[in-house]
Structure 1
């Protein structure tokens, strides 16, 4: 395995400090998002997708505790906890990818079919989609790690090691379903959204009331929807940048008989986890309501009885 012996990886103190900062940021971010949803103004379908992404970010922060242990070279929690950690890691990864696809579909409908968006994308439907996304991730990850879950530690060859091993077919299927397929869908949808958004922006600058969209709908998209598309577009691009090295690493391990150093493995995994730290920064930069929520928490305004009715938009 990659971490098959007990030897400290170089730069471990830096990684531990970075991980501590990351966990602190993610915990505060999760609290902020949950409390933000106490405001009824933020109960929109798009924000439920953001909440789903925040949940996965939060769990990534928790998993960093275990990742530090792997980077140090020794797994001290036993075979069962090793499998649980890997299982949760698979669930969070697939749920994050699924949520990104849902976000792209949401923005596609909002920009390309704004007339029917309120009826097609409702809060109840979004809640069902998010629940299905997480449920499918749990089942899917369980199928991938079925043998490891049934017999924890079956592939561990020495003390202090934490590895799970799957067959080649499952690895290729996971690569297609969790990376190649979703990336193709995400790129296609956001290319369409980008074309329509650009045409709308030009129309707004020209003071044109309506334009004919690429999706053959003669209505004007709200400026707020365009801004949401831009913000979530940045989130998606950053996500793909952080995800690609991780899956490139998986492809190398799956297709080639080669060994990869622990430091290289730790680097790509930490880059993927670091993506969860960037999301709140993006939201804070683009969303005024996010900054207002932080202020409300710091000043304890959220403890007031009428906090759910507060105007934060």
Structure 2
């Protein structure tokens, strides 16, 4: 085995291990702790299921294709379908979570009437159906090459329809652009609220005015929601940065094995970033995780 492959396998094992541990923990906490079963966390646990599948199964299989251990075309098409479907599920779920966070921060008084558990589950069902229909097209239609073996298992060689490939990229990129726009909006709103809270607390401290309990609870909740929005923004920034090299490599048609391995590692690293940044960045998740370890 070459040094490049040894490094790639080592990175894959470490990344997959952390993805399995992190996402499994998020899923277990969600179903065990009733207070964590909120509309927002419904989307978080959906991301955890998706990333558990991607990090635990798809990434190791991707390495087999990169090392040319698997090269048969039918296997390529099945893998490509799953990869495309999960990529769409991932970005559309983050989009849904971004919208939920925006409503939480900007429309707190009507949040409970707009965002309900039923609507969250319905949204996730529609996302899954839409993503699978898009991802399965190469299997059920002639746009997937199934009659001959390919030299490498890559999307541009497995799929013969450029329009279809562009459609998939358009779905993903447009969804990400909307997420970025929402994140920018959230950033400025959260910054404004944080400054208002800091000014209020400073005024209270200097004037020594008694603090109303309801007002304190309201500020505490706003701080928590602001931090959650900041963590989501961090995830979006990381997602964008890790996908840029893959998009650039596709546009310039760089087909070197090293570039493919590096860009795939960056993309699949999102399976670790989301649970550890957004999940364990949440104080409630951390507290219940510590309690679970102690018990």
TM-score, normalised to structure 1, is 0.79
In structure 2, runs of 5+ residues without a counterpart are 202-217
- Residue 36 of structure 1 is matched in structure 2 by 29
**Alignment RMSD, CA only?**
2.5
1:288 lines up with 2:283 in the alignment: yes
Is residue 67 of structure 1 aligned with residue 62 of structure 2? yes
Alignment of 1:1-313 (within 5 A): 11-37=4-30, 38-61=32-55, 62-75=57-70, 78-143=72-137, 146-147=140-141, 152=146, 154-157=147-150, 161-163=152-154, 164-179=158-173, 181-207=174-200, 222-253=222-253, 260-283=255-278, 286-299=281-294, 301=295
Listed one character per residue, the Cα deviations across residues 191-241 of structure 1 (whole Å, up to 9, x for unaligned) are 221222111111111218xxxxxxxxxx98722211111111111111111
Counterpart-to-counterpart distance in 2, 1:71 and 1:54: 25
Flag the structure with higher helix content. Answer: 2
Is the 2:40–2:97 contact (alpha carbons within 8 Å) kept by the matching residues of 1? yes
State the shift of 1:145 in Å: 5.6
State the distance in 2 between where 1:119 and 1:9 align.
58
Q: Tell me: CA distance 1:230–1:141, structure 2 relative to 1, closer, same or farther (3 Å).
A: same
CA distance in 1, matches of 2:60, 2:15: 11
Distance 1:140 1:293 in 2: 38
Q: CA deviation at 1:129?
A: 0.6
Larger displacement relative to structure 2 (51-60 or 199-208): 199-208
1:305: which partner in 2? Answer: none
Deviation at 1:149, TM superposition (A): 8.1
SS of residue in 2 equivalent to 1:73: coil
Cα shift at 1:80: 3.1
CA–CA distance in structure 2, aligned partners of residues 248 and 144 of structure 1? 24
Give the 3 Å change call, closer, same or farther, for CA 85–24 of structure 1 in structure 2: same
Is contact 2:246-2:264 (8 Å) kept? Answer: yes
Relative to the length of structure 2, the TM-score reads 0.83
1:271/1:295 Cα in 2 relative to 1: closer, same or farther (>3 Å)? same
Aligned length: 273
Residue deviations 1:213-270 (CA, integer Å, cap 9, x gap): xxxxxx98722211111111111111111122222333334xxxxx521211221111
CA distance in 1, matches of 2:170, 2:273: 26
